[in-house]
Amino acid sequence: MAKLYFYYAAMNAGKSTTLLQADFNYRERGMHTMLWTSAIDERAGRGRIASRIGLSAEAHMFAEGTAIIPVVMRELKDKLIDCLLVDEAQFLSQRQVLELAEIADGLDIPVLCYGLRTDFQGRLFPGSAALLALADKLIEMKAICECGAKATMNLRVMADGRAVKEGAQTEIGGNDRYVALCRKHFFERLRESEAEQLNLAIPR
């Protein structure tokens, strides 16, 4: 029976690179894959998955209201699909994660999802929460904090490097907007930012 996998990590753990390597491995053996990515993230261009080391590939896009199963069924009319690979899986809705589980269970197609677990406030994304609940296999990928420990948190920063504590859950960005940190240094940076803002607010 095919399985639903969730590969999760903080920023800069190589999730897209690993996805593209898995895609290459399938295609090298003459197998067919179907790639998906979020329509929200257009940093590499619309409908493209790209890694920091220069690999890229075209992909189907999902938005909040996208129904995935009908697109998969249309593709199956022309060719077999040996694997679905989903990037930016944190942006999936709960309904879409249920669709992916149905694809694995009903169509016997393995589904490999790659994404962040938590946002810049340490809260689960809806797609990640659904995948943590429903996936057959949970695989944590390793990102490294500036101290050398495992990074598990995503700190949003301003242009001057100060931590951002509040804002919309989704704000697309790379190393210019986010820093992967261990839990200890994540909360240290938030406290430092709060202290700096308090000092600025005190009249001199």
User: Among all residues, which ones are annotated catalytic?
Assistant: 88
Q: Which residue has the tokens 């920023």?
A: 11
SS3 (DSSP) at 140: strand
Closest CA to 8 of 125, 167, 97, 109: 125
Question: What tokens does 131 get?
Answer: 């995948």
What's the residue count for the chain?
204
Q: At 123, which helix (H) or strand (E)?
A: none
